[in-house]
Amino acid sequence: MPKKTPSASVPKTTPNPKNDARAGEAPVRRVVLAYSGGLDTSVILKWLQDHYQCEVVTFTADIGQGEELEPARAKALKMGIPPENIFIEDLREEFTRDFVFPMFRANALYEGEYLLGTSIARPLIAKRLIEIARQVKADAISHGATGKGNDQVRFELGAYGLMPGVRIIAPWREWDLLSRDRLLAYADTHGIPVDYKKRKGEAPYSMDANLLHISYEGGVLEDPSKAPSEKMWRLTVSPEKAPARAEHIEITFKAGDPVALNDVPLAPHELLAELNRIGGRHGVGRLDLVENRYVGMKSRGCYETPGGTIMLKAHRAIESLTLDREVAHLKDDLMPRYASLVYNGYWFSPEREALQVLIDHTQKVVNGKVVLKLFKGNVLVTSRTSDDSLFDTRIATFDDDGGAYNQADAGGFIKLNALRMRIAASRGRTPASARAVRPRKSSKA
């Protein structure tokens, strides 16, 4: 075990002498911790060992955060976790195929802008936590989400949806280590190996990264009136520094999912990673947003989602060609509800799964190719083609259509649709907007 070093500023946290006191629950003997190897979860690991006097199993997921994960294994070993209790898994393929792509079939945007990069990763992590808990016969699971954010809700709703009786330990709702200074002091006192050291006067960003995006919160971003530093962004160049020449790319879709880039078939996670690389160099996918958290407060976050921004644009383009009008409009009506379910943590809910069945049914005909132009932060659709296209040139043309469309039919169509308004007008119910009198400006010679 790491050697303890004294620190006068460390808060006192004593082991829980009554591990089984809450609601008459049995003692926690083994807990599975969602472990990143960072400051918070490293402190949590030690805190669980001391406070609950239990065996800890660590689970670290590679979902494309772009970091080497072996240091997490080394840290866990240094803190006394035996090798058989350390789980490090590459989930990039499953994450993209089974979570990101189904969400993008719905064109999901939370509050009209956010591509849900953090939200969509949580149900997969919750799923694996529960699977590992069953495998190792754990009594509980634990996570490092704070008591103010959405992630606590997402992790726990996901876990309860898969294991109704699971016991969840959320240290941020139990301990008194409620600041970075206290966490660092605790880490120093207990000899916890952490890479991060807060420098005097520096307010760091809280970051979350995966294959879909990077999010930034905290620090200067807690003041919505202040712009983020250009140095903050990691995936994208600024549009001003992007290449002066546009780049064209072609995405092939099959049943609503992108399957090839520039005619090269790619696995889902490979395709998304390549779109991130291409979009990033053109400054695509930055977002600065004030959003409404499920727990009730507003928060300001910045996001980089280059590949997702390109995918959404391309997917809507191929849908515009292949989907029936009313089906497309129905999807758009349902999208905000779907996005809220993902944002709020209801991925495993029956209503989200019911919506997914409908959405996936619509995607059977969403096949074809879309060409996009990337230029200084912009994504522009330049062409789309599909064997399942509903676009009929004979009917849509402004030239002679050879009788494919009878323009005289439009008169009756318009009259019937105006019938209720014609009746109301005949009864003197003139719309208020038509009754408004606006003074006209006189023109001087």
**Residue-level pLDDT at 403:** 86
pLDDT beyond 90 at 4:
no
Catalytic residue check, 40:
yes
**Residue-level pLDDT at 28:** 95
| CATH class of the domain comprising 212-323+366-385 | alpha beta
Rounded Cα distance, 114 and 339, in Å: 9
**Quick one: tokens of 349?**
């809910």
pLDDT confidence bin for 397, thresholds 50/70/90: confident
**Residue-level pLDDT at 444:** 63
Strand partners, 63: none
Q: Which of 40, 62, 208, 257 is catalytic?
A: 40
| Angle of helix 419-426 versus helix 409-417 axis, rounded to 10 | 50
* % of the chain beyond a pLDDT of 90: 79
Mean pLDDT, to the nearest integer, of 288-312?
97
Catalytic residue check, 119:
no
Place of tokens 């049914």: 361
Report CA-CA distances (Å) from 15 to 46, 48, 54, 107, 181.
11, 9, 11, 48, 21
pLDDT beyond 60 at 118:
yes
Query: Which has more pLDDT, 191 or 15?
Result: 191
**Residue-level pLDDT at 152:** 97
Query: Which candidate, 303, 307, 330, 305, places its Cα nearest to that of 319?
Result: 330
Catalytic residue check, 179:
no
Mean pLDDT, to the nearest integer, of 146-168?
96
**Residue-level pLDDT at 179:** 83
**Residue-level pLDDT at 284:** 98
Place of tokens 């992108």: 258
pLDDT tens across 329-356, in order? 999 999 999 999 999 999 999 999 999 9
**Quick one: tokens of 224?**
């919505």
Residues in the chain: 445
pLDDT confidence bin for 168, thresholds 50/70/90: very high
**Residue-level pLDDT at 437:** 67
* % of the chain beyond a pLDDT of 70: 90
Strand 55-62 and strand 30-34: the pairing is: parallel
Mean pLDDT, to the nearest integer, of 309-323?
98
**Residue-level pLDDT at 68:** 84
pTM (two decimals): 0.90
Rounded Cα distance, 202 and 180, in Å: 12
**Residue-level pLDDT at 398:** 86
Is the Cα torsion angle 202, 66, 101, 261 positive or negative in sign? positive
Strand 286-292 and strand 298-304: the pairing is: antiparallel
Is the Cα torsion angle 165, 337, 172, 64 positive or negative in sign? positive
Mean pLDDT, to the nearest integer, of 403-431?
92
Q: Could you give the 3-state DSSP secondary structure of residue 299?
A: strand
Mean pLDDT, to the nearest integer, of 235-258?
98
67: how many CB neighbours lie within 10 A of its CB? 13
Strand partners, 140: 31, 167
Distance of CA 389 to the CA centre of its chain: 30
pLDDT beyond 50 at 21:
no
Q: What is the chain's mean pLDDT, rounded?
A: 91
**Residue-level pLDDT at 7:** 38
User: Of 83-92, 148-157, 377-386, 432-441, where does mean pLDDT reach its minimum?
Assistant: 432-441
Q: Which of 29, 30, 188, 206 is catalytic?
A: 206
Q: For the residues of 209-263, what is the DSSP string, one character each? A: E-SS-EEEESGGGGSTTSPPPGGG-SS---GGGS-SS-EEEEEEEETTEEEEETT
Which segments of 255-395 are extended strands (E)? 257-261, 264-265, 286-292, 298-304, 368-375, 378-385
Q: Which of 73, 105, 142, 151 is catalytic?
A: 151
Query: Which has more pLDDT, 399 or 247?
Result: 247
Non-local (6+) Cβ contacts of 259 within 8 A are: 252, 253, 265, 266, 271
The torsion angles phi and psi of 392, rounded to 5 degrees, stand at: -110, 105
**Residue-level pLDDT at 400:** 85
Rounded Cα distance, 344 and 241, in Å: 36
Boundaries of CATH 3.90.1260.10 in the chain?
Answer: 212-323+366-385
Q: Which of 122, 128, 167, 352 is catalytic?
A: 122
Boundaries of CATH 3.40.50.620 in the chain?
Answer: 28-189
Is the Cα torsion angle 216, 219, 225, 227 positive or negative in sign? negative
User: Of 27-41, 309-323, 406-420, 431-445, where does mean pLDDT reach its minimum?
Assistant: 431-445
User: Which CATH number is 28-189's, of 1.20.190.20, 3.20.20.70, 3.90.1010.10, 3.40.50.620?
Assistant: 3.40.50.620
Mean pLDDT, to the nearest integer, of 59-79?
93
Q: Could you give the 3-state DSSP secondary structure of residue 183?
A: helix
pLDDT beyond 80 at 231:
yes
**Residue-level pLDDT at 8:** 35
pLDDT beyond 80 at 308:
yes
**Residue-level pLDDT at 433:** 85
pLDDT beyond 90 at 199:
no
**Residue-level pLDDT at 201:** 40
Catalytic residue check, 50:
no
Mean pLDDT, to the nearest integer, of 64-85?
93
Rounded Cα distance, 20 and 172, in Å: 19
pLDDT confidence bin for 299, thresholds 50/70/90: very high
